Amino acid sequence: QVQLMESGGGLVQAGDSLRLSCAASGRTFNDYAMAWFRQAPGKEREFVAAISRSGRNRYYANSVKGRFTISRDNAKNMVYVQMNSLKPEDTAIYYCGARQGVLVMTNSRYPYWGQGTQVIVSS
C-alpha cells in the first residue's frame, strides 16, 4: 500500500508556472505507475499526465501537452508535474494517483489517491 500527499498548489495568473509535488510513502515506490488527475468544480475528475514505473514512458492529456511535464524521482519517492503557460481552464484540484503495474489513463484504475492540492489560475 502507498500513501500520497500533494503540495505546491496556489493562486497564479494566466501564463505563470507552478510545480506540483506528490510525496509517496512506502519502500516500493518504483512498483507504482503514477499519474496526475484534476477536478474542476462541477466536473468529473480528468486525466492530466501519467508516468511509468521507471519514468521512461509518459502520457499527457491533449489539453496540457506541450505545457505540462510529469517526472519522478524514485530515490526520493516523489512525482512532480511542472505546469507552464497556465490558463484559467487549468483551475482545479489536482490529485496524485498510484497503481501497481503499467500506467493507465483511467482514474478508476488508480486505487491510491492523495487529498489534492488546489490550483487557481486568474485571467
User: What integer pLDDT is reported at residue 26 of this predicted model?
Assistant: 80
Q: In angstroms, rounded to a whole number, what is the distance separating the alpha carbons of residues 66 and 122?
A: 20
E-strand spans in the chain?
4-7, 10-13, 18-24, 32-39, 46-51, 58-60, 68-73, 78-83, 92-100, 112-113, 117-122
Per-residue model confidence as pLDDT tens digits over 17-42: 999 999 999 879 999 999 999 999 99
Cβ atoms of 15 and 85 closer than 8 Å: yes
pLDDT higher than 80, residue 79: yes
Q: Grid coordinates representing 33?
A: 505507475
Q: In angstroms, rounded to a whole number, what is the distance separating the alpha carbons of residues 26 and 57?
A: 22
Q: What is the rounded average pLDDT of the residues 92-102?
A: 96
